[in-house]
Structure 1
Amino acid sequence: MPYLTSPVVPAGTLARMSQPALPTGDGLLLRPWRAADAPAVYAAFQDPLMHQWHIRAADSEEEVADWITRWRNCWQGERQAHWAVVDADTGELLGRVALREIVLGDGCAEVAYWTVARARGRGVAVRATTALSRWAFEEIGFHRLELSHATTNEASCRVAVKTGFALEGTRRSALLHADGWHDMHLHARVHGD
């Protein structure tokens, strides 16, 4: 049975190209992950704040190296896309930004991010999310991007608001963290916002 609409983003759109590096225009670069990033990612995940807002921990650099291999391989599968956020001049790792839950046919994905402790308060997540959103909407043709965070994570809520993701509601008891179930805010941007 045929669909009555065409895919918003055709299958193969991402897989046909190499994952791009995305400059923010203000000192940051979103680039594909490298094996050499493992020590910096491992160090980032030793921060207690990462344990508060994320559901994963890193027990070793070898474990993180496996994550990076998976992050790099996700591009071809077109279900996720992950970038390292680095200082454009020094290459220092400042964080991560990603598109998860990609559904090309519907033109939708979920934005996720984290920053290393020393990068917080410098607008890194805002700048990276802005650059990624611009690319996803203008270069690839996504229609809707979602962003979700624990309702008690005020810093992530500020990032969502500053990047134009409107609050759409609260998903009750939606994600299990180490300290229990969290209600999650759902924010979204649609093409043209």
Structure 2
Amino acid sequence: MNVTLRVRATPSASALFLRPWTDDDVEPLVEAYRDPTLRRWTTLPVETIEDAAKWLELQRRGWETGERMSFAVYRGHFGGGEGRLAGNVVMKRTGSSRESAEVGYWTAAHARGRGVASRALEALTGWAFDVFAVEGLERLDLLHQVDNLASCRVAEKAGYGFHQVLPAQPPFPGEGHLHIRRADAPT
């Protein structure tokens, strides 16, 4: 699927564009994963070019199966020069239910605190409800570890209300938060 999402610049934040990951993202992906904070919150390690190639293959297969639609998030303007890799947003549709899906994200160290995650998540959310409503998508779930306070703030900024505390279960070592956004929620 050839999808590009654009988020306009604001007086305090640069423009963003989101697109499916490509082989051109190998080196920026490895660079982003050098950040210990990012590695702390993610479950798939990317330390080498080979790791990045495997990670990108997982993203490609996800698009092919429709189970994992993952977008590279870039700051800057589309075309001419893409800017710098700022993060990732993903929608995961596993299992038989088409009423709900899970979303996730991460932000590169240089892009944190600049509204990238919440704005990219909002773009993904709008796209998901627009594209998958016909298949019955009504709810998006966002999960994060309880001690990841930044993810809690991002969820709330993007309109994902806190729903409940979840018990620890692999691969996550501690309790988590479940945030939910419904298709009919006001924006």
Seen in structure 2, the aligned counterparts of structure 1 residues 104 and 97 have a Cα distance that, compared at 3 Å, is farther
Tell me what 1:63 maps to.
51
Contact 1:175 1:183 in 2 (8 A): no
Tell me what 2:7 maps to.
24
Contact 1:94 1:119 in 2 (8 A): yes
Contact 1:103 1:109 in 2 (8 A): no
Q: Is the aligned partner of 1:126 residue 2:121?
A: no
Distance in 2 (CA, whole Å) between partners of 1:76 and 1:183 is 32
Query: TM-score, normalization: structure 2?
Result: 0.86
Query: What is the aligned-residue RMSD (CA, Å)?
Result: 1.6
Q: Is the aligned partner of 1:111 residue 2:103?
A: yes
**What are the Cα deviations for residues 8-67 of structure 1, in whole angstroms up to 9, with x where unaligned?**
xxxxxxxxxx24111123310110111010111111111110122122322311210121
Distance in 1 (CA, whole Å) between partners of 2:69 and 2:18 is 11
Distance in 1 (CA, whole Å) between partners of 2:16 and 2:61 is 23
Tell me what 1:7 maps to.
none
Once the two structures are aligned, what percentage of the paired residues are identical? 34
Deviation, 1:140, is 2.6
Query: TM-score, normalization: structure 1?
Result: 0.84
Tell me what 1:173 maps to.
168
Structure 1 runs (4+) deviating above 2 angstroms are: 101-107, 174-177
Seen in structure 2, the aligned counterparts of structure 1 residues 136 and 96 have a Cα distance that, compared at 3 Å, is same
Contact 1:20 1:31 in 2 (8 A): yes
Distance in 2 (CA, whole Å) between partners of 1:186 and 1:19 is 30
SS at match of 1:106: coil
Q: Which residues of structure 1 form unaligned runs of 5+?
A: 1-17
Seen in structure 2, the aligned counterparts of structure 1 residues 126 and 114 have a Cα distance that, compared at 3 Å, is same
Q: What is the aligned length?
A: 173
